[in-house]
Each structure stands twice: as C-alpha cells, then as structure tokens.
C-alpha cells in the first residue's frame, strides 16, 4: 500500500480536513445521499442500463440524514485524481460495520479523475448519519497500469451536475 498523502504518491485528493489522514489511509466524509431506484438493472458486454436514483435525500435541520434499511448511492466530499501506476479502493469505517452499515465501491483505476461515490447498505435498522461524517477510508497502492482509465464515470457535464463537482 501507499498513502495517497505521502511524498511518493502521484495521486491527489481534495477536501482533506485535519484529522482525516490515518496511518495507512485517508478518511472520506459523507456529502450527498441518493435513494436508488428499484427498476431492473441490466448489463451485458454491449450495454448497461443503470437503475439510477429516485431522488436526493436531504439532511434534516439537525444535519443528519435519516436512512431506513436499504441501499443508497452516496457521494463523498472529495474529488480524486488517481496517478499513473496507482489505484485504490474504499473500505467502510469500522464503526459503521459494527452497526450493520456497509459501504461498497469499485476500484479507482489509474487515470480516474472525479467524484468518490459508492453504495451505502443500511442492513439492520434505521441509521442517522450526519453530513460531513467520516464513513469510508481510501486505500491506495502501486499498480501496474496497462492503460489509463477511459470509462464514463468521471468528470463530465451530467456527472458534474449530479455530484456538484
């Protein structure tokens, strides 16, 4: 592993607050929450039909998101730029794990630049999570890159609009 904030990292991460740097990772803070639609998801090698989201869940006046059991698309406060020869992934902070809330996310490939997002699975009972709370940790590592990321999830007009980038 390699620390994204270390002197040898080619990657960058925005909006890192004091106290977010941990010994081997960087904490990620919750910014936005969206309810995932229950439409049919369809995927093949030729096409993807995403479920999408129904609506954005806004925090209450006290700053907390109230989340019933289910799955939610979540967006972190951070924008990442993954350097060539590096990759990473997001893991759930242990306090959420111990309380039946799990964050899943795909691999952040070399060359990816954009929002950090994933799915928060609230499994046991309702959860109240305050906006800006540290919910995940980004782990970075050296990776042999045969090419740079060229997918359709990073920075773009629709992406920027939805995630406020």
Residue 160 sits at φ, ψ, to 5 deg, of -60, -45
Query: How many C-beta neighbours within 10 Å does residue 7 have?
Result: 5
For residues 69 and 122, is the Cβ–Cβ distance under 8 A? yes
For residues 83 and 110, is the Cβ–Cβ distance under 8 A? yes
The per-residue pLDDT for range 73-129, each reduced to its tens digit, is: 999 999 999 999 999 999 999 999 999 999 999 999 999 999 999 999 999 999 999
Confidence of residue 152 (pLDDT cuts 50, 70, 90): confident
Token pair in block for residue 152: 């359709």
pLDDT of amino acid 151? 81
Residue linked to tokens 């109240």: 128
pLDDT of amino acid 159? 54
Diameter of the chain by CA atoms?
48
- Give this prediction's pTM: 0.90
């Amino acid at each position: 592993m390699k620390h994204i904030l270390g002197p040898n990292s080619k990657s960058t991460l925005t909006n890192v607050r004091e106290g977010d740097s941990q010994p081997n990772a960087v904490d990620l803070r919750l910014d936005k929450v969206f309810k995932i639609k229950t439409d049919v998801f369809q995927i093949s090698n030729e096409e993807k039909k995403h479920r999408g989201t129904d609506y954005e869940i806004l925090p209450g006046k006290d700053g907390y998101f109230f989340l019933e059991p289910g799955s939610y698309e979540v967006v972190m406060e951070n924008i990442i730029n993954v350097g060539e020869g590096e990759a990473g992934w997001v893991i759930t902070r242990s306090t959420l794990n111990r309380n039946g809330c799990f964050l899943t996310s795909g691999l952040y490939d070399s060359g990816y630049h954009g929002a950090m997002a994933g799915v928060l699975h609230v499994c046991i009972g309702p959860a109240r999570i305050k906006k800006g709370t540290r919910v995940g940790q980004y782990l970075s590592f050296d990776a042999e890159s045969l090419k740079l990321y060229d997918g359709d999830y990073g920075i773009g007009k629709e992406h920027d609009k939805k995630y406020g980038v």
